[in-house]
Amino acid sequence: MARPRAFDKDAVIAVIKNVFWEKGFEGTSYTDLIAASGLHKGSLYQAFGDKRALYLRALADYDAMEVEAGVSLLINPDNGNAVERIEALLEAVITAVRNHKDRRGCFLCNAAIDQAPVDPGTEEIVTLGLGRMHHAIEMALSEVDPSRQHKNRIPSRSAPAAKNTASQIMACYFGMRVMAKAGVPLSMLEQARDAIIIQLKG
């Protein structure tokens, strides 16, 4: 019927996500978005709406991709026992800093600090994302796999204890991301990871 769009919307969001992820909402200008996407300002407006709409789509995309990856890492028994999966999650934070000099951190965490307090749309995506993360950790913690119980000595937890510990691990995880962004020595992140794992195994 009409002229078709010359670009793939999802691919553009994926690119733009990286800009907001790295620079935050206020720190990102249309000039940045144009440079990254190769599109014209008018095209961005026509396809997605204003800057805030673009930001929310980018954040939702992060949630669907990266947060979801974390959730499946935590839930899938193929990745080892519950403690090993949680350790892998924490290890990923350290690896990102060590190998890739990644200072972008976690977009959800960045958004929590820079936009959630002033934008309800951001707040909603962030709290839902944190909620799913929390639930995944809780699931992992309460998991009792009878066939592995002996071999790995993971103490099983009552439901309320699992909830408490899940909240604690969430806090540790996001705290580690903040510390990584802050630029603390890697050793401090490793210490935090070790302490958590020792606690879980003990």
Partner DNA sequence: TCAATTATTGACCAGTCGGTCAAATACATA
Partner DNA sequence: TATGTATTTGACCGACTGGTCAATAATTGA
Contact 166, 137 (CB under 8 A): yes
Total chain residues near a copy of itself (CB under 8 A): 48
Nearer to DNA by Cβ, of 48 and 173: the residue is 48
| Residue 41 C-beta: closest distance to a copy of itself, Å | 20
**Distance separating alpha carbons of residues 49 and 38, to the nearest angstrom:** 17
Among 73, 116, 137, 154, indicate the residue that binds a copy of itself (CB under 8 A). 116
List residues binding DNA (CB under 7 A).
Answer: 1-7, 28-31, 39-43, 45-47, 50-52
Contact flag: residue 60 with a copy of itself (CB under 8 A): no
Nearest Cα residue to 57 out of 80, 86, 37: 37
**Distance separating alpha carbons of residues 57 and 51, to the nearest angstrom:** 10
80 to 47, 88, 200: CA distances (angstroms): 43, 9, 15
Q: Which does 50 bind (CB under 5 to 8 A by kind): DNA, a copy of itself, none?
A: DNA
Nearer to DNA by Cβ, of 7 and 124: the residue is 7
Contact flag: residue 105 with a copy of itself (CB under 8 A): yes
| Residue 117 C-beta: closest distance to DNA, Å | 18
In which element (H, E) is residue 28 found?
A: none
What sign does the CA torsion over 36, 41, 47, 49 have? positive
Nearer to DNA by Cβ, of 51 and 98: the residue is 51
**Distance separating alpha carbons of residues 97 and 119, to the nearest angstrom:** 29
Nearest Cα residue to 90 out of 147, 155, 21, 140: 140
Q: Amino acid identity of 180?
A: A
Q: Which does 112 bind (CB under 5 to 8 A by kind): a copy of itself, DNA, none?
A: a copy of itself
Contact flag: residue 95 with a copy of itself (CB under 8 A): no
By CB under 8 A, name the binding residues for a copy of itself: 24, 26-27, 103-105, 109-110, 112-114, 116-117, 123, 126-127, 130-131, 134, 163-168, 170-179, 181-184, 188-189, 191-192, 194-196, 198-199
